[in-house]
Amino acid sequence: MRLTTRGQCRLCGQTFNKAQMTRHIKSCLAKRGLGSNMLLLVQDRSGLFWVYVTADASIALLSVDWALRNLWLECCGHMSAFSDISVMYLEHPESGLPGMGSTELGMDVSLKKAMQSAETLKYEYDFGSTTQLTIRRLAENVSPVNDENLAVLARNDLPQINCLVCEKPATILMVEDWEPEPYCEACWSDSDERMTLPVINSPRMGVCGYDGPSVEP
């Protein structure tokens, strides 16, 4: 995999890497004036997968959870949680799960409230084969770009993953071994009926049974 991914700003059509995009999208969005939305950057631990969204600050964390599941995560209805250093937000708080000393609250808390004193929230999907994301607030009082509560402003292009055999772009991941092995259609022979998952633009690619689809809000 390449170490960085690029993506297109959907407000103006220009392409940037993530470091450039943070600067760019703030200024591109500022041209639209003020509003009551937040600009958020959500990314995975590798930094290859990222999405810039504007979100209505009054929506509940549950709506963000739902959007992230549709975009990147949902495989078999695993549990998820948002957290900062002292609070953990769960769909069903006080359920005796991994709180580890944190105060547990419900996901009915608004984004604005949850991010009042925390610039960054951690988000975890699936407490077994966990996909961990960070949600960083880049700006407040920005304009919404459409009528939706949440809108994607930019998103990474699919990282380049090459076929182990011919080095052309891979579409299939063989996931039976510890490290998923990528193949293209031409080089893949399914004579052994081995377990595969599709190459897909998500930080959960190759994990558990994740096979998309990736649906944007």
Give the contact letters, 36-75, x = binds to Zn ion (CB under 5 A), - = no: ---------------------------------------x
Q: How far is the CB of 201 from Zn ion (least distance, A)?
A: 18
Backbone angles phi, psi at 22, to 5 degrees: -60, -45
Q: How many other C-beta atoms are found inside a 10 Å radius of the C-beta of residue 27?
A: 8
Alpha-carbon span 40 to 36, nearest angstrom? 13
Alpha-carbon span 61 to 81, nearest angstrom? 10
Pick one of 187, 200, 211, 212: the residue that binds Zn ion (CB under 5 A). Answer: 187
Asked if residue 208 binds Zn ion (CB under 5 A), the reply is: yes
* Binders in 74-133 for Zn ion, by CB under 5 A: 75-76
Asked if residue 166 binds Zn ion (CB under 5 A), the reply is: yes
Asked if residue 12 binds Zn ion (CB under 5 A), the reply is: yes
- Name the DSSP class of 73: I
Q: Do the beta carbons of residue 161 and residue 169 sit within 8 Å?
A: yes
Q: How far is the CB of 165 from Zn ion (least distance, A)?
A: 4
- Name the DSSP class of 126: -
Alpha-carbon span 124 to 131, nearest angstrom? 6
Instruction: Using CB under 5 A, count the residues that bind Zn ion.
Output: 12
Binding residues for Zn ion, rule: CB under 5 A, are: 9, 11-12, 28, 75-76, 163, 165-166, 184, 187, 208
